[in-house]
């Protein structure tokens, strides 16, 4: 029985290596072997060799090099901020995504110390980028500490679709 995507992926990837019917193994044994392989891959990927840089992970939607497979000739969109505000917003999104993706990984691998440390670093970088963005351009969400003052300042600046004029 397969419990997750990685079990299924490993099963499909190893179809050619499957023994013939006279050598069939117990499905539970096969599942355990697949889980061990996945666990070893996941544990080894949290070092800097297996983990993408935040920008690359953000543009392709996956921080893990060994879990990312390009579709045919697809290439991730290159993000080119046009001004300082767009660059600051990109940093917030990029570090937020990196921390979130590692958090999802840690849901399945809660004892991976390297991933925990890396996620903490991305959260620190996210908080710095968020503070810098909000100090320069105003609150980004209604959870911002900038909105604790009177008067309520959520809608005092122009919305992105209103333009900059």
Mean pLDDT of 61-72: 80
User: CB-based contacts of 106: which residues, under 8 Å, 6+ apart?
Assistant: 112, 115, 116, 119
The tens digit of pLDDT for each residue in 109-128 reads: 999 999 999 999 999 999 99
pLDDT at 10: 60
The pLDDT of residue 140 is above 50: yes
Query: For the residues 19-30, what does the mean pLDDT come to?
Result: 44
């Amino acid at each position: 029985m397969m419990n997750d995507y990685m079990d299924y992926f490993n099963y499909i990837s190893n179809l050619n290596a499957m023994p013939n019917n006279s050598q069939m193994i117990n499905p539970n044994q096969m599942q355990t072997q697949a889980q061990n392989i996945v666990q070893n891959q996941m544990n080894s990927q949290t070092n800097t060799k297996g983990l993408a840089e935040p920008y690359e992970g953000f543009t392709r939607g996956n921080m893990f090099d060994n879990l990312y497979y390009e579709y045919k000739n697809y290439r991730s969109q290159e993000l080119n901020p046009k001004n300082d505000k767009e660059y600051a917003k990109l940093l917030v999104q990029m570090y937020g995504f990196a921390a979130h993706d590692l958090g999802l990984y840690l849901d399945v691998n809660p004892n991976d110390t390297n991933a925990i440390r890396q996620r903490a670093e991305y959260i620190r970088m996210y908080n710095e980028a968020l503070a810098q963005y909000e100090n320069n351009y105003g609150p980004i969400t209604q959870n911002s500490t900038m909105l604790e003052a009177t008067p309520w300042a959520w809608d005092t600046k122009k919305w992105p679709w209103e333009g900059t004029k």
